[in-house]
Amino acid sequence: MKTLTLTRPDDMHLHLRDGAQMRDVLADTTRQFARAIIMPNLKSPVVSTGQALKYRKRIIESLPEHIQGKGDFKPLMTLYLTETTSAEEIRQAKQSGLIHAVKYYPAGATTNSESGVTALDKVYPVLEAMAKQNLPLLVHGEVTSSDVDIFDREAVFIERQLCPLMEDIPELRIVFEHITTKDAVDFVNEGPGGLAATITPQHLLLNRNALFIGGIRPHHFCMPVLKAEAHRCAVVDAAISGSPKFFLGTDSAPHAREAKESACGCAGIYSAHNAIELYAEIFEKSACLDKLEAFASHHGADFYGLPRNEGTITLEKKSWQIPETLAFGESIIIPFRAGEHCQWKIKQ
Ligand code: DOR
Ligand code: ZN
């Protein structure tokens, strides 16, 4: 049987939620990943070091029993940037040694982004403090103005927000999260070493047609929304390029089934159940399986200045059916590609 052994990978962009729902999704992530960058967009966002450390404790207490107390999984915490975040908060975050980045949501861009920032220049003192402390800014790279077409939000973000920011604070290290367009790929490739990007499985596997195949497909809806095929191809090329500027970040974002299958369905795709297997499928399709380990296990750690993981995981080439539903607190989630077959399986 064909197998593939990799250094244990890291998920550099993950939504875990909280409480009983978090308990249900943590088993999926910890089966594959040694560490994950934990997004701070809880209903009540994680805006202070104190809150991030309490959230970290809840995550550790919710780990599956068989890995409790083993230090096998490390949550890498982040803060949610608001217009009232202070430079002092940034110093405390860095000093904690447990907070690895600050997330910028443009206000109104996506799930729980109401407390986000309306204009970046309002938070320049905080961004300057981050540059000084070498704490990266993670950007949800989409403008929210109603004059911009939803498919152009990422490209316009580069021009209106990212370029001026990088010119004004060149020392600030930035991760352009979940890139979806050729514009973003080119921009990151041409940018300085302090600029990198995460790539999700859905933006590698699907183009925007997947939103409308035979009817509207709420389980393919996420932000940034899927793009046209030419953009998907550019994102695949970036992932398999071997460039250290691109690394794995699933943006796995669970929502209860009823919140997705609704007249106004939530944005977010749950890929954590079989994320590494999906990435293996994509890299194999491009005949670049040999590039998967660096993308999944090296580039992210190197960017964040973390040691690479020591253990390994092994994947087997084996077709298996992704479940139709998974438990999610009092409800259920429909995982990405529910009911379909996946061609790689992690060896337990
Ligand atoms: O689709 C998304 N869902 N995009 C985001 O940026 C947030 C996420 C969520 O938290 O549900
Ligand atoms: Zn996200």
Residue 72 has pLDDT above 80, yes or no: yes
pLDDT at site 70: 87
Domain that holds residue 208: 13-275
| Amino acid at position 331, single letter | S
The token pair at 261 is: 């299958």
Q: Are 278 and 40 in contact (CB under 8 A)?
A: no
What phi-psi label fits residue 287: left (phi over 0), alpha (psi between -120 and 50 degrees) or beta? left
Does the residue 42 lie in any domain?
yes
pLDDT at site 95: 98
Q: What is the rounded distance in angstroms from the CA atom of residue 145 to the CA atom of residue 151?
A: 12
- Please work out whether the CB of residue 41 comes within 6 Å of at least one atom of ligand 1: yes
> Relative to the CA of 221, which ligand 1 atom is closest?
1
Q: What is the rounded distance in angstroms from the CA atom of residue 73 to the CA atom of residue 8?
A: 11
**CATH of residue 49:** 3.20.20.140
Q: Residue 248: which H helix or E strand, with range?
A: strand 246-248
Runs of H (alpha helix) within the chain:
19-32, 49-61, 87-96, 124-133, 153-157, 163-168, 182-190, 201-205, 229-239, 257-260, 275-285, 292-293, 299-304
Does the residue 292 lie in any domain?
no
Instruction: Judge whether 251 counts as a catalytic residue.
Output: yes
pLDDT at site 348: 78
Q: Are 11 and 33 in contact (CB under 8 A)?
A: yes
Does the residue 82 lie in any domain?
yes
Residue 132 has pLDDT above 80, yes or no: yes
pLDDT at site 71: 84
Mean pLDDT for the stretch of residues 69-74:
90
Phi then psi for 323, rounded to 5 degrees? -60, 155
Q: Among residues 11, 24, 28, 251, which one is catalytic?
A: 251
pTM for the structure as a whole: 0.98
149-162 burial, b if ≥16 CB within 10 A, otherwise e? eebebbbbbbeebb
Does the residue 336 lie in any domain?
no
- Please work out whether the CB of residue 250 comes within 6 Å of at least one atom of ligand 1: no
- Please work out whether the CB of residue 222 comes within 6 Å of at least one atom of ligand 1: yes
Average pLDDT, the chain: 97
Residue 123 has pLDDT above 80, yes or no: yes
The total of other beta-carbon atoms located within 10 Å of residue 35's CB is 22
Cβ < 5 A residues, ion ligand 2 = 251
Q: How far is the CA of 268 from the centre of ligand 1 (A)?
A: 5
pLDDT tens-digit readout, 18-68: 999 999 999 999 999 999 999 999 999 999 999 999 999 999 999 999 998
Residue nearest to atom 10 of ligand 1 (CA): 111
Q: Are 146 and 180 in contact (CB under 8 A)?
A: no
Using DSSP bridges, classify how beta strands 137-139 and 99-104 pair: parallel, antiparallel or unpaired: parallel
Residue 263 has pLDDT above 90, yes or no: yes
Does the residue 287 lie in any domain?
no
The token pair at 303 is: 């960017």
Does the residue 311 lie in any domain?
no
Can you tell me whether residue 126 is helix, strand or coil? helix
pLDDT at site 278: 98
Does the residue 174 lie in any domain?
yes
- Please work out whether the CB of residue 29 comes within 6 Å of at least one atom of ligand 1: no
Residue 1 has pLDDT above 80, yes or no: no
> Relative to the CA of 177, which ligand 1 atom is closest?
6
Mean pLDDT for the stretch of residues 155-168:
98
Residue nearest to atom 4 of ligand 1 (CA): 223
DSSP per-residue letters across 257-313: HHHHSSTTPPP-B--GGGHHHHHHHHHHHTT-GGGHHIIIIIHHHHHHT-PPPS-EE
Total structural domains within the chain: 1
- Please work out whether the CB of residue 253 comes within 6 Å of at least one atom of ligand 1: yes
pLDDT at site 298: 98
Q: In this structure, which ligand is nearest to the CA of 39?
A: 2
Mean pLDDT for the stretch of residues 142-164:
97
pLDDT at site 275: 98
Does the residue 263 lie in any domain?
yes
Q: Are 181 and 207 in contact (CB under 8 A)?
A: no
